[in-house]
Structure 1
């Protein structure tokens, strides 16, 4: 009868070993799945939520996320609407615990150029800030290339009219970290 106890003990050890193998495999699969998550998907899970974002220049923005592209975040803060280049983000003070992959293949590949083209079509007055926090220009986006945009320089709270335009500035996307909407003034 002593053999029965030995066999039961061996069976228990085998079952425990299989469970450990299953746990190890599950942990490895979880790590592999996490390794494929991109920041944009985590930010998409925060749509509608307030975030604190630290930019490369040390500036901290408190914004509410409204849309997320493959390389940019759209949202608003106390000053109005804005678009952030994800490359300019140094840190985000939020756990970003929900992951929401983009379900549309077409939208998944919309880069920041598509957003700039939309702003250009809308003739929206904008303020463009560079990576060091300096203002690169304010006015209206006239043309959008593959890796740069042309900004008609004028006060962003004025219409783009010939008399208001002070020049044309070509700005590479890589130099831009933030684009803000025009302030609306109440008279």
Structure 2
């Protein structure tokens, strides 16, 4: 009997079994890693590389653009300019209003990467209410979309823990007592999105 050949065969079988076992362990480890990813993790990964996305919203609308920022419970999508002379706009979307995200296959796979370690940025920690309070402080005109009443234009007067107050007025009109046509309290849970002119919040 050729002992060298026998041991070579056994060694080859053992190596193949170890390799198969390692592949199973690696596949299980990857499944467990992906199981820990959140929607926010996936969205933050899409901020890298300017991947084009289409966001399906709870009211049936779609927003197309590039994810610029992801906060604690919201994201900002920059919509491309329709023409060079027209201003771009930013859609601030609460996470609860996002019903789906479409993108290309490469960006989808990249969104499975681990989130960078370290202390989260200020944007990553900021809540939707924090962002709305900043818009109220700046007196920025907004287009507010809600589940019930569609879109209204106005200025956010204030934002509480779970709601905002908006003064409704015509486009281009400053928020003055004379210009205001109505006031509304809107729970954050009813908000589908807030659209602002990009230049107003840079």
| Alignment TM class, shorter chain as reference | 0.7 to 0.9
- CA drift at 1:151: 1.1
Aligned residues: 183
Aligned to 1:113: 129
Q: Is 159-168 or 4-13 further displaced after alignment?
A: 4-13
Partner of 2:181: 166
Q: Residue 140 of structure 1 contacts residue 160 of structure 1 at CA under 8 Å; is this kept in 2?
A: yes
Aligned to 1:36: 36
Per the TM alignment, residue 133 of structure 1 is displaced from its structure 2 partner at its CA by: 7.2
Normalising to structure 1: TM-score of the pair? Answer: 0.84
Does structure 2 retain, via aligned residues, the 8 Å contact 1:156–1:182? no
Paired residues for 1:1-187 under 5 Å: 1-47=1-47, 48-77=50-79, 78=82, 80-94=89-103, 95=105, 96-99=108-111, 101=115, 103-105=118-120, 107=122, 108-131=124-147, 134-135=150-151, 137-181=152-196
Q: What 5-or-longer segments of structure 2 have no aligned partner?
A: 83-87
5+ unaligned residues in a row in structure 1: which ranges? none
What stretches of structure 1 move > 6 A for 4+ residues in a row? none
Partner-residue secondary structure (3-state), 1:20: helix
For residues 146 and 44 of structure 1, what CA distance do their matches in structure 2 show? Answer: 24
1:109-151 CA distances to partner (integer Å, 9 max, x unpaired)?
Answer: 322111111111111011111136712x321111111111111
Measure the CA separation in 2 of the matches of 1:132 and 1:91: 20
Q: 1:159 to 1:80 in 2, by over 3 A?
A: same
Name the SS for the 1:58 alignment partner.
coil
Provide TM-score, normalisation by structure 2: 0.78
